[in-house]
């Protein structure tokens, strides 16, 4: 089963043979979707994406768990319609109507978003509705921390990131924000992440040249990260650079990168070239590992 696809499903207290046959027919007609009925695992996925618990009785849900969006189905499958006895012909007709509207982009997906917060010039909370505008600020290098609710590592790193944002408050080319990816989503999805916490920089006037913090979730690594990947260097003094230790840490990342998307492998390769070329006093090859396996 392709979990990257959008799911089209019936949730019910009981699944009759007629329901299953109806879903099978819809699946044959709309192969770009995963069509079926919700078991416990996918009920959990659906409720995470919809941000509410499904009611007892019949529910029709259309959602993309990976990209955290759903389609509003209540105008096609009304409460009165769902309360009636199941009729395969009627359900097939309604499914065709809504899925054709999705195909033709007449029905737009609903992306999750927390309420829009107040402005904070030091470290801005970002939500789904503000994410694109925030990162696309052409006059700033935008640095975003991606977190997940209940993540202990995220909670431990957040004060470090917050203090770094405060320290850089006079750097007029930088803008800092953070977003909870369990409560928010956006069209096109978030960048590739190996895990959270995840820090990414979107340089001014060249947002496609974005890159992520690869080594060390601490102040020193954040300074080096901005100096390497940002449009300008920070005014604060860059800490001493232990080339060998960082090389070893990055080498571990290279081994894990085999499953990365191709574009992320290319970004990693460029990052390695930048970070291992920053220390002019250590240019010998003995501590400069080769990364041809990328």
> Considering the domain boundaries, does residue 66 fall inside one?
yes
Cβ proximity of 109 and 70 under 8 Å: yes
> Considering the domain boundaries, does residue 105 fall inside one?
yes
Instruction: Give, for 108, the enclosing helix (H) or strand (E).
Output: none
DSSP bridge pairs for 124: 177
Amino acid 282: pLDDT: 39
Residues 128 and 232 in one domain: yes
**Structural domain of 189:** 112-239
| 3-class DSSP state of 25 | helix
Residues 95 and 200 in one domain: no
> Considering the domain boundaries, does residue 187 fall inside one?
yes
Sheet with 33-37: strands ordered across = 33-37, 6-11, 59-64, 69-71, 110-111
Instruction: Select from 274, 199, 276, 223 the least CA-distant residue to 245.
Output: 276
Cβ proximity of 204 and 140 under 8 Å: yes
Residues 152 and 55 in one domain: no
Residues 228 and 257 in one domain: no
Instruction: Count other C-beta atoms under 10 Å from residue 85's C-beta.
Output: 5
pTM over 0.95: no
Instruction: Select from 6, 145, 136, 146 the least CA-distant residue to 67.
Output: 6
Structure-token pair, residue 177 = 């924000």
> Considering the domain boundaries, does residue 226 fall inside one?
yes
Residues 219 and 245 in one domain: no
Beta strands 59-64 and 33-37: pairing type?
unpaired
Residues 126 and 104 in one domain: no
Instruction: Select from 44, 39, 7 the least CA-distant residue to 26.
Output: 7
Residue ending a domain, among 216, 239, 262, is: 239
Task: Name the phi and psi angles at 14, rounded to 5.
Answer: -145, 135
Cβ proximity of 73 and 61 under 8 Å: yes
- Determine the Cα angle at 121 with ends 177 and 220, to 5°: 55
Residues 116 and 105 in one domain: no
Cα 131 to Cα 122, 189, 244, 294, distances in angstroms:
16, 10, 37, 31
Residues 129 and 222 in one domain: yes
Structure-token pair, residue 22 = 């109806």
Residues 78 and 195 in one domain: no
> Considering the domain boundaries, does residue 95 fall inside one?
yes
Tally of domains within the chain: 3
Residues 174 and 212 in one domain: yes
The CATH number of whichever domain residue 194 belongs to comes to 3.40.30.10
The count of residues in the chain is: 294
Provide the residue-wise pLDDT of the chain in tens; the chain has 294 residues: 677 899 999 999 999 999 999 999 999 999 999 999 998 888 998 998 888 889 889 999 999 988 889 999 999 999 999 999 999 999 999 999 999 999 999 999 999 999 999 999 999 999 999 999 999 999 999 999 999 999 999 999 999 999 999 999 999 999 999 999 989 999 888 999 999 999 999 999 999 999 999 888 999 999 999 999 999 999 988 877 777 877 787 888 888 888 899 999 999 988 888 877 654 433 344 444 444 444
Amino acid 290: pLDDT: 47
Instruction: Give, for 195, the enclosing helix (H) or strand (E).
Output: none
Residue ending a domain, among 83, 111, 139, is: 111
> Considering the domain boundaries, does residue 216 fall inside one?
yes
> Considering the domain boundaries, does residue 281 fall inside one?
yes
> Considering the domain boundaries, does residue 1 fall inside one?
no
E-strand stretches of the chain: 6-11, 33-37, 59-64, 69-71, 110-111, 124-125, 141-147, 174-180, 198-202, 211-212
Beta strands 33-37 and 6-11: pairing type?
parallel
Cα 218 to Cα 163, 175, 188, 240, distances in angstroms:
10, 18, 30, 14
Residue ending a domain, among 111, 144, 163, is: 111
Residues 252 and 229 in one domain: no
Residues 128 and 91 in one domain: no
């Amino acid at each position: 089963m392709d979990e990257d696809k959008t799911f089209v499903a019936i949730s019910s207290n009981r699944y009759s043979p007629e329901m299953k046959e109806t879903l099978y027919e819809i699946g044959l007609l709309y192969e770009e979707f995963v069509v079926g009925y919700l078991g416990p695992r996918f009920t959990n996925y659906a409720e995470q994406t919809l941000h509410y618990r499904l009611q007892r009785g019949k529910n029709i849900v259309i959602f993309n768990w990976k990209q955290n969006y759903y389609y509003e189905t209540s105008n096609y499958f009304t409460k009165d319609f769902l309360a009636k006895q199941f009729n395969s012909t009627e359900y097939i007709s309604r499914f065709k109507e809504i899925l054709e509207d999705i195909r033709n982009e007449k029905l737009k997906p609903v992306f999750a978003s927390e309420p829009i917060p107040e402005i904070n010039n030091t470290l801005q909370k970002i939500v789904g509705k503000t994410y694109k505008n925030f990162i696309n600020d052409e006059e700033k290098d935008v640095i975003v921390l991606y977190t997940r609710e209940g993540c202990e590592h995220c909670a431990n790193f957040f004060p470090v990131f917050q203090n770094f944002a405060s320290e850089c408050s006079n750097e007029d080319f930088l803008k800092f924000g953070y977003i909870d990816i369990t409560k928010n989503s956006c069209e096109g999805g978030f960048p590739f992440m190996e895990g959270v916490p995840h820090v990414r920089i979107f340089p001014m006037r060249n947002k496609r040249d974005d890159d992520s913090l690869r080594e060390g979730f601490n102040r020193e690594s954040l300074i080096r990260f901005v100096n390497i990947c940002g449009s300008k260097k920070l005014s604060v003094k860059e800490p001493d650079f232990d080339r060998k230790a960082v090389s070893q840490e990055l080498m571990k990342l290279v081994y894990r990168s085999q499953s990365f998307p191709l574009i992320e492998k290319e970004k990693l390769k460029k990052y390695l070239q930048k970070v291992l070329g920053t220390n002019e006093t250590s240019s010998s090859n003995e501590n400069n590992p080769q990364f041809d396996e990328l």
